[in-house]
Amino acid sequence: MAQENQKGASTLREAAKAAYLPGIDFTGSYIYNQRIINLLGEDAKLPTMSFDPTTGSYQYNLVKGPDGVPIKDPSSGSYIPSEIAVIPKEAMSYDIHNVFAGAFTLTQPVYMGGQIRALNRIAGFGEKIATAMSNNVAQEIIYSVDEAYWTVVSLGEKLKLAESFVALTDSLCRNVSLMLEEGVATKSDLLSVEVRANEANIALVKVNNGLVLSRMALAQICGLPPATHMELTDETLNAPDLKSVPPKTDMGSVYSRRQDLEIVRQSINLLKSREALSLSEMLPKIAVVGAYSFSNPNVIDGFKKKFGGGFSVGATLQVPIWHWGGDYRRYKAAKSSTTAQRFLLEDLEEKVQLQVNQAKFSLEEAEKTYKMTQVNLEKAEENLNQAQLGFQEGVLTTSDVLAAQTAWLGANSEKIDAEIGVRLAYTYLSKVLGTLPY
């Protein structure tokens, strides 16, 4: 999912670059009108004029009396033309029942107040955030796999330990049975040993089931079917290679390697670009526009019912003047978001420093615990040998042997846990230091 988000962010960054280039669009429309257009309500009657050479000008053709004076209409008081030009009503009627129109438009941004640059920066930082998130998820998966891997190894060792403990209790049970037959042991001794043997067998079943489930969990984390059988390299557990914990750590390098902090750093950059985007809403915008428009009918050379059109070129200027402070408040809100994200980064860096110190202490503690469990196991083994020898010689009871076996089991189990703890502590320290490979 993180990788797909990364691909999507990369695609968005490429898409943002397109805003620098001119955009070409086509718009088409069809309109049906119920009526036609009549520019004249009835036939138009217009007076005519003739050229008078004596005056060198045009004079209206009017009806004149015997005295040569133009006659007026008594009802209207206007002169009566002797000739008229008639424009029929039908000549100024236009059929617009079906109108088709379209336009190809080219728009080239010239200055958008920094909006396009801000959008490109936002897309670029978004890609970096997606990359850091993918890296962070990869680290988390690797750490989870490592944890599940060592859980399988641990339970595998404990299974062997449980089998050894069952063998010990079974051996003791046989010996006590023989001693009971010889009359040197009591029925109570045999029952105590049999109870411990049953407990050992129950523990063996639980460990075996836990091992099967832990293998299924490891396969699931690795993206494999749960029933997948895997042979692990470390199933025969070897002593961990103890390394000295670095006394001093360059926290600046840790911060730069930590992918979770990288997400926050890039988020700050993204929010700063959003500040610029908000600021661009208050700045003028200029664009050059070119278009080829056409329609049917067209009126380029009179009204004709066919397609006709032409080119046009121009420029647009948009200047924000007053929006009641809305744009400025959005800009201030964007700055507040950036400041809050900076505080978050500072807080996370402090927590990472604490996390690193805790991881160092945990590793030191795990190594000391491992060394102590080695000593305890040696003593437990010697104690078990002495208890078995004393029981054979008749100076120790079955309770003493059972106690020695329990101590030996606990010491072995603690040593296994300590070995796994050291390995996990190393892995966790690598994770918090940002050095865990991904």
3 state SS for the chain: CHHHHHHHHHHHHHHHHHHHCCEEEEEEEEEECCCCEECCCCCEEEECEEEECCCCEEEECECECCCCCECECCCCCCECECCEEEECHHHHEECCCEEEEEEEEEEEEEECCCHHHHHHHHHHHHHHHHHHHHHHHHHHHHHHHHHHHHHHHHHHHHHHHHHHHHHHHHHHHHHHHHHHHHCCCCHHHHHHHHHHHHHHHHHHHHHHHHHHHHHHHHHHHCCCCCCCCCCCCCCCCCCCCCCCCCCCCCHHHHHHHCHHHHHHHHHHHHHHHHHHHHHHCCCCEEEEEEEEEEEECECECECECCCEEEEEEEEEEECCCCCCCHHHHHHHHHHHHHHHHHHHHHHHHHHHHHHHHHHHHHHHHHHHHHHHHHHHHHHHHHHHHHHHHHHHHCCCCHHHHHHHHHHHHHHHHHHHHHHHHHHHHHHHHHHHHCCCCC
| pLDDT of 208 over the 90 cut | yes
Question: Model confidence at 246, in pLDDT bands (50, 70, 90)?
Answer: low
Question: Model confidence at 75, in pLDDT bands (50, 70, 90)?
Answer: confident
Calculate the average pLDDT of the chain.
92
| pLDDT of 65 over the 90 cut | no
| pLDDT of 410 over the 70 cut | yes
pTM: 0.79
| pLDDT of 72 over the 90 cut | no
| Residue 21 identity | L
Question: Model confidence at 243, in pLDDT bands (50, 70, 90)?
Answer: low
Is the bond into 109 cis (omega within 30 degrees of 0)?
no
Q: What is the mean pLDDT of residues 31-57?
A: 89
Q: How many CA atoms lie within 13 A of 313 on its CB side?
A: 1
Share of the chain above pLDDT 90, in %: 75
The set of residues, in sequence order, having a beta carbon less than 8 Å from that of 314 and lying 6+ positions away, is 288, 289, 290
Q: Give the pLDDT score at 377.
A: 95
Q: Give the pLDDT score at 396.
A: 87
| pLDDT of 181 over the 90 cut | no
| pLDDT of 236 over the 80 cut | no
Q: How many CA atoms lie within 13 A of 264 on its CB side?
A: 17
Question: Model confidence at 247, in pLDDT bands (50, 70, 90)?
Answer: low
Q: Give the pLDDT score at 298.
A: 92
Q: What is the mean pLDDT of residues 197-225?
A: 95
